[in-house]
Structure 1
């Protein structure tokens, strides 16, 4: 799972999260058909555990809702068990696993967009 950020910054959306003028996190998304793919979510290690990741995930869901999309989706390394647990708490459901080079296993998760909230 490698990334060419020269392409990503041209094709994907990046939303940055600041606290007191300090960049604390970002979320990268891209619309794929009727879904919003969460490509990347990252929080500065000094600011983790304070709800910023959840805030950014909910932001992506709001973007999907504003575009009348069906769902948000993401994938993560199977070894990232804390991230997977967070996504499950946020309502994401396991969809499938895919095997990649060097033995990496990606866990794919999806969450339907709620139009009642």
Structure 2
């Protein structure tokens, strides 16, 4: 099940982010941005949705919001490591894209760290095209975009 996050979900969301991104600390040389995000503010803004299992435990989450009049920004997506391979990430992505379409957005935008190499091959497989690389807040980011009207 995917639903909007509530303030009471913040600890579970943070635990999921830490579990999912911990493996990248040594590779990047510092905590990836999702490990230090202000989840309370993102939840209050309505930007966070969670995936839960049959026991209502958080198994993944996604953060997205309008970037401009035509584009929805996917800020963060994470799945608990012990839940990987079950299609949770794909369901969260599909949920985000469908939500964007329903709100009239024609494009999705996202970024990942250039050292998260698995993501660099996953996103193109899901129809995203690399649109640029930038250094922001000390992170080397790779931006992707997907046309939702195709």
Summarize deviations over 1:68-108 as a string: whole Å, max 9, x none: 10101101100111112111110000000001344x31000
TM superposition score normalised by structure 1: 0.87
Over the residues paired in the alignment, what is the CA RMSD in angstroms? 1.6
Q: Unmatched 5+ residue regions in structure 1?
A: none
2:45 equivalent in structure 1: 11
- CA shift, 1:63, in A, is 0.5
1:49 equivalent in structure 2: 85
Q: 1:12-91 maps to which residues of 2 (within 5 A)?
A: 12-21=46-55, 22-33=57-68, 34-91=70-127
- Larger proportion of strand: 1
TM superposition score normalised by structure 2: 0.69
Q: Unmatched 5+ residue regions in structure 2?
A: 1-32
Summarize deviations over 1:3-50 as a string: whole Å, max 9, x none: 333432222421111121232111111112221111110100100122
1:112 equivalent in structure 2: 147
Query: What CA distance in whole angstroms lies between the structure 1 residues aligned with 2:37 and 2:54?
Result: 30
